[in-house]
Structure 1
Amino acid sequence: MVDASYHNNMNVTDVYNSKWLKMLGWKPNITITVDISKNLQFINYADNYFHNINLKDSSTVRVNVTAKNLQELNLSNTNFPIRYIYEADTPNLEVLDITGSTCQTIYVHLFEKATKLRKIVAENIKLNFDELESIFYSLKNLEELDVYKSNLRNIPPTLLKYQTVLFRLNLDENFFPSFPATLKYVQNLKELYIRFNKITYITESDFVTFKRLGKAKIFIQGNPINCDCLHVQSLKWIKEIQHLFMDLNETLCSEKSSTVLEIIQEKTFEEFVKNCQTDTWLALSILMLLILIVTITVVFLAKKYRVHIDYVILKLRSRWKGVYSVESGDFQFDAFISYAEDDYRIVSTTLYQTLTQRGFQISFPDKDFIPGISKADELLRCVDKSRKVVFIITENFLANGWNSYAVQMTVTHSFHNNRRQSIIVIIKDNITIQRMPKDLRYIWWSIVSIRWPETSDLMEQFWDELDRALKSV
């Protein structure tokens, strides 16, 4: 232990030349215990600089300081190595000034025994209070805290939880985007300086906190307070507790057009609120109109392109299930036949039997659709596995909405897979081309159309023509 008891008073020269401070530059990996004179009450080392401090690993150096009667310590604008002090037994210390300290970290329990500390000045420092949430827990007599211009963006919510007698707090020229939540604990605060930060509005919790502060004086000049219609409620809260704000007449709105005090004047504010309500209703009306237009457009497009949307969904679903389109020349069926339910007998007997006898593999819904699976899924599966698709166009077919869907799905599939020559149309009941489904009319140039004969003597010619169409590439 280094004994400095021979000092009754200590000035700058004494501090610089004293053995206990020079030891800090000597030996790493040690604990140094310093006992300062019991009679020493004041140390002023402001605006000085320590030399010969060159520790490779400061985390292994701990300094324990005992100064039983020290009441005031001024280390402002120095490089005093506060980060090395692990424990300070200073039960009578009342004032500490570390303004301009270059230390970026200190031990969290540094002030545990400084229970009488009532004033801390720490302007222009670089401490990160996020890692020091409990550093003030034992300072129940702290009355003043000054962290002016210290690059602070936030402080822990419970940092000042036990500072119930704190009456002056200076947070000027930092980067706080809002009022610190820890303010709710300092209900005896009389002066709050939070000028030239980044605060744009006050929240409901801020409002409740400030109402509890009662007679506090709050200074917010230099903050970019928003005075637009989106922050009417914030301005209402400021108006209600405006007696707490000492410099509203000097606090410019972020729009720079006027001060906050001018905005919250009774008549001006009433007119401002009315204009905002009008603007709000206008904005809402425009928004609702846009939503309506978008909704109508989406519904219209969904109806118009329903089949295309369904086709994409079905293809994606097939890929997800591991089912892929067949390769050219690897079809399971020569043709898939689409027809109206009322025409089932023609397909299942005459058409199916004749084509099968001629060596064709034919697919149609009643034979190949798997029960329990959606018709759309099965339609796409059978069409995909068939080299040709044959539509039996009758009056019954034209009257059925599902058949129109089947035509659109088949046409979409054919063009998507470059199979434009794969559609064959068999026309019955003397139906004209003009009455054909529009999706077929649009691609009439690429399909094969065959009319069902009206007399039996022409049937053989019909079968030969259909045979050639099914065999064509």
Structure 2
Amino acid sequence: MTEISITNNPHRNGFVLGHRHFAVLHEKCLQKLNLITDSILGIQFGPFFKYGYTENCLEELNINLMFDNKDSYVFAFCAFEHLKILGIPHVIVKDNRLKRSTENDVSCSFCLPKTLEQLDFHSNVRSYNTRRIANLTILRWLNLKGVNMANVTLRDCNGTIYGIENLEYLDMSGFNCRVLSEHLISHFPKLITLIAQDGNLGIGLNTLKDASEFLKMNLDLKHIDLRKNSIKSLPDGFLNHSFRQKLSIILDRNNLQSLPNFPSKPNTFQLISLKYNRISCLSEDDMVKLNKIKPSNIFHRGNPIECSCNTLRFLK
């Protein structure tokens, strides 16, 4: 693999990648390019567009540059027809060509390479946004399997995302899901991992008219991470589905005071993690249910569980 990395340059010398001094790069079949530095003050992608039309060239592109907003670039990523992995912080993306229904709604269509398999679009710090999800359609993303959009905080999650039917991994941590649509992820039938930490789902889940609809189309799910959402309880029917694999569910650092409303079907759970909640006791019914569903592992550290003969015997 032909790889070039420009990282952690201590000198803010202001060179422009694409300058004639870098002409030698234009003759190479560059497969991986990492630009992670604050010394690059500009990028001219024109010289690299030839990689988009050359087989096996520029399959991975990682960009993390400290541009000022006024110097942000619109990247024509569709031109890179063989790109498989794209890492680009949310803060440097600025595309005024998106078609929006209203000023504050994210109801749009946009295009990335049809070969793309992984997109890392996360923000290192929480980026509050006044826009909300209405309906988002992503074109040509049939090969996309992993999306990380952590900390790209939208005003609510009351919408539906279309166009990535083969998605297997989604990190939507930090979304402000106080308002939540039953169909937000209903078009991800192959989703295996859902990470939604710190997203106000304790409020959002209670806004659902029918909580059983939320994961109804995601029967391949295997891992659900709902940490730090101020969840007090899970709504009826939320997990009451015939998942094809045993679930691992993480509910650490919420506001649970009792065992959540898990379905009673055996062989549903591989792992249940309830660490650092406010669970003070396990009732007889709770212990009967846990004995029935028989998760392979259950973690409860950090809860103020009262000691009794029954709970001690069960926790052993």
**Preserved CA contact (<8 Å) 1:11 1:45:** yes
Letter in 1 for 2:192: R
Question: Does structure 2 conserve the Cα–Cα contact (< 8 Å) formed by 1:63 and 1:84?
Answer: no
Counterpart check, 1:99 vs 2:173: yes
Aligned: 1:219 with 2:293? no
- Aligned partner (choices 172, 191, 201) of residue 252 of structure 2: 172
Would the aligned equivalents of 1:166 and 1:188 in 2 still touch at CA under 8 Å?
A: yes
Deviation at 1:28, TM superposition (A): 5.4
1:142 is aligned with what amino acid?
L
CA contact (8 A) 2:266 2:294 kept: no
Give the AA of the match of 2:121: Y
Query: Contact 1:15–1:45 at 8 Å: present in 2 too?
Result: no
- Bigger drift between 21-30 and 42-51 goes to 21-30
Post-superposition offset of 1:137 = 1.1
SS of the residue corresponding to residue 207 of structure 1 reads helix
Shift of 1:5: 3.8
Partner secondary structure for residue 208 of structure 1: helix
Structure 1 equivalent of residue 135 of structure 2? 62
Partner SS state of residue 158, structure 1: coil
How many Å apart are 1:88 and its aligned residue?
2.2
2:152 maps to which residue? 78
Alignment of 1:149 onto 2:225: no
| SS of 1:211 mapped into structure 2 | helix
Per-residue deviation, residues 297-356 of structure 1 (Å, max 9, x unmatched): xxxxxxxxxxxxxxxxxxxxxxxxxxxxxxxxxxxxxxxxxxxxxxxxxxxxxxxxxxxx
Look up the match of 2:93. 17
Residue 193 of structure 2: aligned partner? 119
Larger Rg: 1
- 1:212 offset after TM fit, Å? 2.1
What amino acid is the match of 1:105?
V
Match runs of 1:250-289 below 5 Å: none
AA aligned to 1:197 is N
Instruction: Please name the residue that 1:342 is paired with.
Output: none
Name stretches of at least 5 consecutive residues in structure 1 with no aligned partner. Answer: 244-473
Structure 2: unaligned runs, 5 residues or longer? 1-75
- 1:21, distance to aligned residue in structure 2 (A): 7.8
Matched, 1:137 2:210: no
> 1:74 and 1:144 mapped to 2: Cα distance?
15
Q: Contact 2:174/2:196 (CA < 8 Å) preserved in 1?
A: yes
What is the rounded CA distance, in whole Å, between the counterparts of 1:101 and 1:29 in structure 2?
15
1:90 corresponds to which letter in structure 2?
A: I
Compute the displacement of 1:17 (Å).
3.4
The 5 Å alignment of 1:232-251 reads 235-236=309-310, 238-243=311-316
Contact 1:142 1:163 in 2 (8 A): no
User: Alignment partner for residue 190 of structure 1, among 270, 275, 281?
Assistant: 270
Specify the alignment match of 1:46 in structure 2: 122
AA at the equivalent of 1:94: E
Is 1:33–2:109 an aligned residue pair?
yes
Q: Distance in 2 between matches of 1:74 and 1:213?
A: 32
Counterpart secondary structure, 2:298: strand
For 2:200 and 2:277, locate their aligned partners in 1 and report how far apart those are by CA, in whole Å.
17
Identity of aligned residues (%): 19
Q: State the distance in 2 between where 1:34 and 1:204 align.
A: 53
Q: What SS does the corresponding residue of 2:157 show, helix, strand or coil?
A: helix
Q: Secondary structure at the match of 2:153?
A: coil
Instruction: State the shift of 1:116 in Å.
Output: 0.9
8 Å CA contact retained: 1:162, 1:185: no
Structure 1 position 106, deviation (Å): 3.3
Q: Could you tell me whether the CA contact under 8 Å between 1:163 and 1:185 is conserved in 2?
A: no
Q: Is the 8 A contact 1:64 1:85 kept in 2?
A: no
The one-letter code matched in structure 2 to 1:242 is L
Over residues 186-211 of structure 1, what are the superposed CA-to-partner deviations in whole Å (9 max), with x where a residue is unaligned? 73312211012121222233222211
- Structure with more relative contact order (C-alpha pairs < 8 Å, separation 6 or more): 2
How far residue 118 of structure 1 moved from its aligned partner, in angstroms, is 0.7
Which residue of structure 2 aligns with residue 158 of structure 1? Answer: 237
> Could you say if the C-alpha distance between residues 48 and 224 of structure 1 is closer, same or farther in structure 2, counting changes exceeding 3 Å?
closer
Distance change (3 Å), C-alpha of 1:51 and 1:190: closer
5 Å-filtered alignment, 1:239-388, equals 239-243=312-316
Which of these residues, 209, 219, 222, is aligned with residue 289 of structure 2?
A: 209
- TM-score in terms of structure 1 length: 0.43
Sort the Cα spacing of 1:75 and 1:31 in 2 relative to 1 into closer, same or farther, 3 A: closer
Counterpart amino acid of 2:315?
Q
Provide the secondary structure at the position in 2 that maps to 1:182.
coil
Does the 8 Å contact 1:79/1:103 carry over to 2? no
Taking structure 2 as the reference length, what is the TM-score of the superposition?
0.62
Provide the C-alpha distance between the structure 2 equivalents of 1:198 and 1:52, rounded to a whole number of angstroms.
29
Do 2:265 and 2:292's aligned partners in 1 also have CA atoms closer than 8 Å? no
Q: Which of the residues 163, 171, 182 maps onto 1:89? A: 163
d(CA) in 1 for partners of 2:303 and 2:126?
38
Q: Using the TM superposition, name which of 136-145 and 123-132 deviates more.
A: 123-132
Measure how far apart 1:176 and its partner are: 0.7
Alignment partners' CA distance in 1, 2:142 and 2:92 = 21
